[in-house]
Structure 1
Amino acid sequence: MTHAVTFVQRLTAGAVEVDTSSRRLAEYSYDASNYRVEPVAVAFPRNAQDVSHIARLCAEFGVPLIARGGGTSMAGNAIGSGVVLDFTRHMDRIVSVDAASRTAVVEPGVVLAELAEAVQRSTADQLTFAPDPSSRNRATVGGSIGNDACGNHSVRYGRTGDHVVSLDLVLADGTRLTATRSGLCATDPADIAATERASALSADLRALTARYMAPFRLELGRIPRQVSGFQLAHLLPENGFDVARALVGTEGSCAVVVGATVTLVDVPPSALLLVVAYDDIVDAARDVTTILEYSPAAVEGIDEHIVATMTARRGEDSVAALPAGRAWLYIDLDGDDDAAVAEHARRLTADLRANGRARQFREVRDPGERRQLWRVREDGAGLSSRLHLADGSTVTSWPGWEDSAVAPENLADYLADFRNLLQQYQLIGVMYGHFGAGCMHIRITFEQRTPEGREVMSAFLTAAARLVVAHGGTLSGEHGDGRARSQLLPEMYSPTIMEAFAGFKALFDPGNTLNPGMIVAPEPITAQLALADIPPLPWQTTFTLHESAAPGSSPFAEAVQRCIGVGRCRSHSGGVMCPSYRATGDEKDSTRGRARVLQDMVRGADTMDQGWASEDVRDVLDLCLSCKACSTDCPTGVDMATYKAEFLDHHYRRRVRPMSHYSLGWLPRWLAMTSRTAPVVNRLLASPLRSVGLRLGGLTTQRPLPTFASRRALRAEVGVPGGGTGDVILLVDSFTRGFRPEVAGAARRVIEDGGQRAEVRTDVCCGLTWISTGQLRQARKRLARTAAALDDGTDRPIVVTEPSCAAALRKDLPELVGSDAARRVARRVRSFAEQITAQSETGWAPRVALPEAVTLQTHCHEYAVFGAATQRRALAAVGIDQVREATGCCGVAGNFGFEREHYDVSMAVAELALAPALRADPEAVVLTDGFSCHMQARQLAPTAHASLHLAQILDPTLENDR
């Protein structure tokens, strides 16, 4: 114990950024694998000198050192019991891009997609970085080097190792060397000790190669995706003693990569996606050899399980572009011009028809449609974790055997035999992957919670290893061996090769401190499983969480286990999730980081054993904006806004809440009062008392407040509410009643302009402010009253002007109240944009001059609950096609942006999408149906027409100053 304390004291005493808090350790105890190992510290080095310092300390104290990129490893090789190095915070520079030499120099924390985009920008779209795994928008160069990652286009471009020119390394003792394609040298030529170490290590490596030359030639490098083990064939004389490539795929177990020089490839000027549908995944695999004759850039496959799950999760529209079938191949064809690529596709299609296995074909040229189709494939790992089966049930699948590979010509037979093996063990496997390279990603319904389930898992994996070896394949074709497969390597390699692997690691890392247990001297594959031995606690919730709880578990525990670590929430582009992470770049502010701390809470780990009282969980949830985007953008459907509301509800029972929970959480109650005294309140807020009042309420003084509306103003817009008649119920929410009554009037006029009578309701509440502040008992009471008031025995649509309130009524109402009335009301709810699309389908068209173009800020809750394209569809329906969309959270997100401690993050989030969109066209009409978005847009661009509701744009009686 004293030894460990001394190490931590020495580690944290220097200038290196180190975190040993229990919350931080929980965040980094997981990657995207089945495993959980708590580190002793997490370090965020700024340069190679920091890494060298940490390595020397770890070597001195015998503490493991684990290099980590995006934390998306599915094999468990990005976690460990020592110091975890996170390179993504500081060591993420693109040092240079040289178009002439077709190379780039990068630090290990650079995200793959960001490197590719930077290269394309600097070379006028002539060059790019080729490796493109599905996780490329959060996976890093360093992690890809560690695993020898490949990606969708590996048929054309091979593995990461094929693109490595040199690697800058820190060895276990802190020595800095550079590995090249012809040997080793000191990174700093003036470093005499490093030069001597490079010379001695080179001699030892040559001796090792000479000793094992025949086995290297016979057993290594036999198929394109033979990633398992170390790639020591690169040390052979005929391969030029390529130490750099020999170190690719060593999973951080031999050296820490602190820099890399990589090669760049051409960007084809023309491309086409050919989607081919089959009745069976094995039939699809049998056509691969024919397809490879046409030199495709990619041949990817998915099965019916992924498509069924995508349909259940994201609707029919998400897979509408797929031809009918039960298995699909995505074939990327490219070339110098469109005509040549089209002819290539025609000839390939003819050959596949002649084979007689393909059922339907679809050529896709539009880049947007291609991206939508690729998303089905790229979200495969997350989607397949919660499979929706044909009978309507759901099952959970896990990695462990998600990465095997065979030669492409053997793929069909391997898959046929593998399906039989699954049936033998009564397991379900979802199949997708890189068919053109013979690499399969198969997630399987292992039961890891029980000893019996773990025994089946171990037996199956051993049998699967023997099967893939019998087909001439490899245990890993991309993800590495890690904790998931290293124990099985003797099934694939001879004792002689295993001895060589151990010798290779010992030369680089004689003290075994670098990521121990990877490839050499592993633990059993069922050790350190995250799901093993979780206490069977009830975790009662107010929300009804629709989870199929495993024996001994609870719906809440199952819900937070939805996060499997794929890390899409850590991307900086695409979708809306996760705005706080995009603003701060800190793992704790990602959906994944929050989920991991919650997972430690339900397992009773360390300080999280306080359960609902945990301060660590409260802290990690603090910057969650409750935007709900993760419920849609996360491939596994993590709904952090719901989990946060549930946690806050329990956490603050018998505790004093933050003042903003009373000032903003009870806002509908205060608005009922201010509607009677609006002129007085507005005068007070314009006086010096404003700052005092805001501070007392826990609110920021830096944000302008809206003007409070009176009941008279509301009645002037909508008349006397109620009446009990109408084709449509127009529900005017608290925000619209209290601050934007003109929106209610415009909405009524637009609905009636479409030929329908609107019954205006102002007497019900969606409970949103109580939900977002975790006051769920109060929220449920109000929602129960709302359900009773609106459940009138009709099917009349309930149109809600505020999209966040519409989302609360659609989703939270049935989950909090749970009655038949609540479910009936929820099904009737429409956002105003949905109403406009429906009106347009009846032949209605607006009778006002419309803007040619708008800047659109879709409210996050509408995006999550009603769909990302809801607003765009409405605009297209009325003839507005020029839309600049600020895709992302506005940053206010209900109470979040008004709270004093969150103002800076709120504005940083605004700079991600909304602020740049407003600056791009300052004179544009800005569409903000959400009140939060409206307030942020007004602050960022306070012009006369800066922020309008869709109803105001379409209002037949209003003259909009555009």
Structure 2
Amino acid sequence: MRRSSSDSLLAEELRSVVRGRVRFDTSSRAMWSADGSNYRHVPIGVVQPVDLDDVEATVDVARRYEVPLLPRGASTSIGGQAVNEALVVDFSRHLDRVLEIDPEARTARVQPGVVLDDLRDAARPHGLTFGPDPSTHNRCTLGGMIANNACGSHSVAWGKTVDNVRELDVLLADGTRMTVGRTPDLAAAARRPGREGAIYRELTALRDRLGTTIGAELDAPGMTRRVSGYNLEQLLDEHGVDLARALVGTEGTCATIMGATVELVESPPVRALCVLGFPDAYIAADHVMPIREHSPLTIEGMDVGVIGALRASRPDDRTHEQLPEGKGWLYVETGGADRAEAEAKAEAIGREMARFGASVKVVADPGAMRALWKIREDGSGIVTRSPGGGEAWPGWEDAAVPPAVFGAYLREFDALLGRHGRRGAYYGHFGDGCLHVRIDFDLLTRAGLANFRAFMLDAADLVAAHGGSVSGEHGDGQARAELLERTFSPTMIEAFGAFKAVWDPEGRMNPGRVVEPRRLDDDLKVFVGTPTIGPRTELAFAHDGGSFTTATRRCIGVAKCISDSGGYMCPSYRVTGEEAHSTRGRARMLFEMASGQLVPDGWRSTEVRDALDLCLSCKACQRDCPVGVDMATYKAEFLSRHYEGRARQRPRSHWSMGYLPRWLRLADAVPGLPRLANALARRPALAAIAKRLGGIAPQRDIPPLAPRSLRRLVGPHPARADSSKPRLLLWPDTFTSAFDPELALDAIAVLEHLGYHVELPTESVCCGLTWHTTGQLDTARAVVRRSLAVLKPWLDDGVAVVGLEPSCTAALRQDVVELLGADDEDARRLAASTRTLAEVLAKHLDEIRDGVVAPGGRAIAQVHCHQYAAMGFDDDRAVLGALGVETEVLDAGCCGLAGNFGFEQGHYEVSTACAERGLMPAVRAADADTAVLADGFSCRTQIRQLDDTGHEPVHLAHLAATALGLRPRERESVSGHGRALTGP
């Protein structure tokens, strides 16, 4: 691990000449030490340039200090080419503009940090797109795609990145700046002065000396997905060499990309999807060649193992049931000027394949297509865990063979897995003969590493025997560069080395990749990152074998968390843009903490504490992360261990808001105290003192208590009074009971209207959420055990528990089992019997539809993060439809309050910025007669405190009671928030 006084001097000089961030701190080096591969290399430091002058200044300083350089984009690379013991130049934060779209020439000029989806959005109005589209399209950068020669699912139609690059602006390690592309007059180029002319002369000599070998080995017939090595065939074009395309796929080993002109293709206005089911993936692969004759946009394949992994990781996700019958599938996409044309092409393929015995499903509805594609796009993350919960790894990740022999290759590949005692679920670009697979390698022991190496060597030989490439998409990196000598001749390996030497004679650009590679079984992050923190955990970590360190290995760098839109993950990252605030960044910090090398203080680490500080514990990563990273749970475990034996060092907010249920119960014990507390909170001086003592942000208003709590409003609610009616136990959560008890009254009215006998616990109960999120797990555990004792009679009778507050309902379903362990029978029974209000109402849709007396009008809905993660919103949609409510579900992500998070000192700006990304603009733009549906107390509170248009957020219970005519006028005054509740 390279740390010296010269690094400090290097950092100091960089800061003096670079306007962007220069990061040599431990946290940054930890977070930039891994990509999406198996490898770990701690960088010297990281520079995030804001403009091209910064890049040139960085390269100049690196040249003078003789340090290696690594330019990189979003760092989703699976081969290990985006990590090195070098100075990282990170293009993922700036230099991210589309400079020009030329519809006539069908080209775009872009900066290297532009995200692919941003380019596609810019091209869309012209009916154009950039053809290559890897599954990381919403976060991968064009510079990274060019460096890795990325492909994606539409390469059957539009090729690899190399086929779509027109011109590159590059900077060499010695400071030479060049614009390269097709060069018809090579002789004239060779006469250019200085370093540029020398490069053309040296490449001409290389071509003249080794051109025969290059042509024989790199222009293999029928091979569409060779990404390994360098594109030296671009030196042979009879119309002139193309140095831009020759540099595509060089993985940062030759030059830094400063800008690019890329080619665009026509994007069919409408697409359709033909999904074909076969008895197995082999037979699916056997049929790609006749399908290619139909000129589809894509031919993707998937094995039944992906479905097994999906069902294990997401038991409530039933999307896979939409697939046609089979154990191996092909996704064939077609395009057309209109739906009829696209659908006709898909149906023609389906008819032909049906004659071969395939089951067929043709889909043209965009929503249905997205749902099916999601299975395939999330495949890379899903299969990192086997159905049994074991870990699976990349390494042999994306080899490719000619499509005509793909079926034969698959059969032999599976036999090879068996001989080495390995298993793997796979998917891939079957139409191009490219296979993606995650394999259950043992990377923790020396015997396992020996098996890993032996398998990789044999697998490379198998690919070579089929005329293929060890990489068909993700490049060589450290994972496969060592294998090039098994698929190319010594002369070809010599040619690769000579090509790099032309551009980088000192070998400072991303060394050890492609040329003179490091061993593929060295530097494996799991092996070198042996845990040092001990096996004891406070939470169960049932999905990771009870191991916190196994949980920290879940993150594999897919980096879905660093996208700027779609889904809910990760709210703080979307506000700050800081790697430390992404799920990936936090997971890497936890991994480094567990290994104790770069972050040596273990559970006492202040670096990890700071990285977790802006985690909202929203649980969105649990749902959105393809590998199921659950940062909310990891944060709770960390906070518990961090403050173990140091209770006095806890933030004041842990005592004020962590113990909120107890403070509220004390307030409820004294008649009139809620009104007095509200009056005092409205006095600025007293409120400021209270907030300072409680660690609450001074900008926040203290939410007013209801004049009377739910228990005081309802009084004794008899149990078992009417045995002829089905019984339900309403969970009186802290937030509903103390702040918005009218929601419970509405829910009771609706449920009793539908024929239920609604009961309340005879004593106070709590899910322990506030203690859980603040890492006070011993107290949370005691609170939950007490609540389970109160609930036991209902659990024994099999009575369903209905939750109104999404965060508490999710806690009953998940956190209770994590706290007490899967072997606690009552915890399991409570989790299994807990329902949302919508889940109960969804069983009565016809009855609700017939009973509506005041149709619901319009609404916008903010889905609570915990509901999104743990329960979903499908039943709510169905109930709203039955109520006659025309609902727009906001795709705005987290509201930003997230329980105690948005109230804590230091979090106000991030909290409100989260809300202003989508939620609050939508609320302010809503008509006065549009209801704002927000079941979560946090969401309602954020809206109440930030909205100035008079919208009072409502709960589903309110909409249902109103639509069914069950809401008497006198109920309007029981809340404490001061706004009248009105119907939609």
Question: Aligning the two structures, in what range does the TM-score lie when normalised by the shorter sequence?
Answer: over 0.9
* CA displacement at 1:947 relative to structure 2: 0.3
**Contact kept? 1:107, 1:258, Cα under 8 Å:** yes
Q: Under a length normalisation based on structure 2, what TM-score does the superposition of the two structures give?
A: 0.93
Q: Tell me the amino acid that sits aligned with residue 566 of structure 1.
A: V
**Alignment-derived partner of residue 198 in structure 2:** 200
Tell me, in whole angstroms, the C-alpha distance in 2 between the residues paired with 1:706 and 1:845: 38
Alignment of 1:761-910 (within 5 A): 761=761, 763-792=764-793, 793-818=796-821, 819-840=824-845, 846-910=851-915
**Alignment-derived partner of residue 569 in structure 1:** 561
Secondary structure at the counterpart of residue 334 of structure 2:
strand
**Contact kept? 1:717, 1:742, Cα under 8 Å:** no
**Alignment-derived partner of residue 15 in structure 1:** 18
Q: Tell me the amino acid that sits aligned with residue 210 of structure 2.
A: Y
Q: Tell me the amino acid that sits aligned with residue 665 of structure 1.
A: G
**Contact kept? 2:225, 2:473, Cα under 8 Å:** yes
Answering whether residue 501 of structure 2 is matched by residue 502 of structure 1, we say no
**Which stretch of the first structure deviates more once superposed, 69-78 or 832-841?**
832-841
Alignment of 1:401-480 (within 5 A): 401-480=396-475
**Contact kept? 1:53, 1:174, Cα under 8 Å:** no
Tell me, in whole angstroms, the C-alpha distance in 2 between the residues paired with 1:92 and 1:184: 33
**Alignment-derived partner of residue 94 in structure 2:** 90
Gap change, CA 1:872 and 1:913, over 3 Å in 2: farther
**Which stretch of the first structure deviates more once superposed, 321-330 or 800-809?**
321-330
**Alignment-derived partner of residue 374 in structure 1:** 373
Q: Tell me the amino acid that sits aligned with residue 640 of structure 2.
A: D
Tell me, in whole angstroms, the C-alpha distance in 2 between the residues paired with 1:2 and 1:704: 50
Gap change, CA 1:520 and 1:881, over 3 Å in 2: same
Alignment of 1:337-356 (within 5 A): 337-356=338-357
Secondary structure at the counterpart of residue 901 of structure 1:
coil
Tell me, in whole angstroms, the C-alpha distance in 2 between the residues paired with 1:737 and 1:844: 29
Tell me, in whole angstroms, the C-alpha distance in 2 between the residues paired with 1:419 and 1:44: 43
Gap change, CA 1:576 and 1:722, over 3 Å in 2: farther
* CA displacement at 1:458 relative to structure 2: 0.7
Gap change, CA 1:887 and 1:305, over 3 Å in 2: farther
Q: Tell me the amino acid that sits aligned with residue 652 of structure 2.
A: M
**Contact kept? 1:858, 1:871, Cα under 8 Å:** no
**Alignment-derived partner of residue 603 in structure 1:** 595
**Contact kept? 1:944, 1:961, Cα under 8 Å:** no
**Contact kept? 2:36, 2:557, Cα under 8 Å:** yes
Q: Tell me the amino acid that sits aligned with residue 911 of structure 1.
A: E
**Which stretch of the first structure deviates more once superposed, 215-224 or 912-921?**
912-921
**Alignment-derived partner of residue 917 in structure 1:** 922
**Alignment-derived partner of residue 974 in structure 2:** none
Choose from 664, 672, 690 the match for 2:665: 672
**Alignment-derived partner of residue 700 in structure 1:** 697
Gap change, CA 1:559 and 1:160, over 3 Å in 2: same
Secondary structure at the counterpart of residue 691 of structure 2:
helix
Question: C-alpha root-mean-square deviation of aligned residues, in Å?
Answer: 2.0
* CA displacement at 1:95 relative to structure 2: 1.5
Secondary structure at the counterpart of residue 638 of structure 1:
coil
**Contact kept? 2:18, 2:58, Cα under 8 Å:** no
* CA displacement at 1:273 relative to structure 2: 0.3
Alignment of 1:280-429 (within 5 A): 280-314=280-314, 315-356=316-357, 358=358, 360-388=359-387, 393-429=388-424
Secondary structure at the counterpart of residue 542 of structure 1:
coil
Gap change, CA 1:836 and 1:717, over 3 Å in 2: farther
* CA displacement at 1:879 relative to structure 2: 3.5
Secondary structure at the counterpart of residue 67 of structure 1:
strand
* CA displacement at 1:838 relative to structure 2: 2.7
Choose from 706, 709, 713 the match for 1:709: 706
Answering whether residue 71 of structure 2 is matched by residue 67 of structure 1, we say yes
Tell me, in whole angstroms, the C-alpha distance in 1 between the residues paired with 2:775 and 2:657: 12
**Alignment-derived partner of residue 946 in structure 2:** 940
Answering whether residue 547 of structure 2 is matched by residue 555 of structure 1, we say yes
**Contact kept? 1:254, 1:508, Cα under 8 Å:** yes
**Which stretch of the first structure deviates more once superposed, 36-45 or 701-710?**
701-710
Gap change, CA 1:877 and 1:564, over 3 Å in 2: farther
Secondary structure at the counterpart of residue 540 of structure 2:
coil
* CA displacement at 1:671 relative to structure 2: 0.9
Q: Tell me the amino acid that sits aligned with residue 250 of structure 1.
A: T
**Alignment-derived partner of residue 579 in structure 2:** 587
* CA displacement at 1:443 relative to structure 2: 1.3
Tell me, in whole angstroms, the C-alpha distance in 1 between the residues paired with 2:702 and 2:909: 17
**Alignment-derived partner of residue 978 in structure 2:** none
**Contact kept? 1:299, 1:330, Cα under 8 Å:** yes
Q: Tell me the amino acid that sits aligned with residue 75 of structure 1.
A: G
Q: Tell me the amino acid that sits aligned with residue 211 of structure 2.
A: M
1:574-631 CA-partner distances (Å, limit 9, x unpaired)? 211111111111111110100001001111122x221110011101101100000111
Choose from 626, 634, 638 the match for 2:629: 638
Tell me, in whole angstroms, the C-alpha distance in 1 between the residues paired with 2:890 and 2:321: 23
**Contact kept? 2:18, 2:49, Cα under 8 Å:** no
Tell me, in whole angstroms, the C-alpha distance in 2 between the residues paired with 1:661 and 1:530: 35
Q: What 5-or-longer segments of structure 1 have no aligned partner?
A: none
**Which stretch of the first structure deviates more once superposed, 510-519 or 911-920?**
911-920
**Alignment-derived partner of residue 610 in structure 2:** 619
Tell me, in whole angstroms, the C-alpha distance in 2 between the residues paired with 1:290 and 1:273: 17
**Contact kept? 1:845, 1:878, Cα under 8 Å:** no
Tell me, in whole angstroms, the C-alpha distance in 1 between the residues paired with 2:311 and 2:557: 22
* CA displacement at 1:832 relative to structure 2: 1.9
**Alignment-derived partner of residue 745 in structure 2:** 745
Gap change, CA 1:565 and 1:8, over 3 Å in 2: same
* CA displacement at 1:703 relative to structure 2: 2.6
* CA displacement at 1:846 relative to structure 2: 4.8
* CA displacement at 1:851 relative to structure 2: 2.6
* CA displacement at 1:810 relative to structure 2: 0.7
**Contact kept? 1:233, 1:239, Cα under 8 Å:** no
**Alignment-derived partner of residue 976 in structure 2:** none
Gap change, CA 1:307 and 1:379, over 3 Å in 2: same
* CA displacement at 1:725 relative to structure 2: 4.9
Choose from 31, 47, 53 the match for 1:43: 47
Gap change, CA 1:514 and 1:194, over 3 Å in 2: farther
**Alignment-derived partner of residue 975 in structure 2:** none
Secondary structure at the counterpart of residue 394 of structure 1:
coil
Gap change, CA 1:338 and 1:954, over 3 Å in 2: closer
**Contact kept? 2:235, 2:241, Cα under 8 Å:** yes
* CA displacement at 1:839 relative to structure 2: 3.5
* CA displacement at 1:49 relative to structure 2: 1.6
* CA displacement at 1:523 relative to structure 2: 0.7
* CA displacement at 1:696 relative to structure 2: 2.2
Gap change, CA 1:456 and 1:535, over 3 Å in 2: same
**Contact kept? 2:148, 2:248, Cα under 8 Å:** yes
Secondary structure at the counterpart of residue 531 of structure 1:
helix
Q: Tell me the amino acid that sits aligned with residue 818 of structure 2.
A: E
* CA displacement at 1:374 relative to structure 2: 0.4
Gap change, CA 1:786 and 1:540, over 3 Å in 2: same
1:469-527 CA-partner distances (Å, limit 9, x unpaired)? 11010010110000000001011111111111111111111111111111000110001
How much identity, in percent, do the aligned residues show? Answer: 44
**Contact kept? 2:167, 2:262, Cα under 8 Å:** yes
* CA displacement at 1:538 relative to structure 2: 2.5
Tell me, in whole angstroms, the C-alpha distance in 2 between the residues paired with 1:130 and 1:918: 37
Q: Tell me the amino acid that sits aligned with residue 751 of structure 2.
A: I
Gap change, CA 1:843 and 1:48, over 3 Å in 2: closer
Tell me, in whole angstroms, the C-alpha distance in 1 between the residues paired with 2:788 and 2:515: 61
1:129-186 CA-partner distances (Å, limit 9, x unpaired)? 221101111111111001100001110010111111111111111222111122899x
Q: Under a length normalisation based on structure 1, what TM-score does the superposition of the two structures give?
A: 0.95
* CA displacement at 1:870 relative to structure 2: 4.2
Q: Tell me the amino acid that sits aligned with residue 686 of structure 1.
A: R
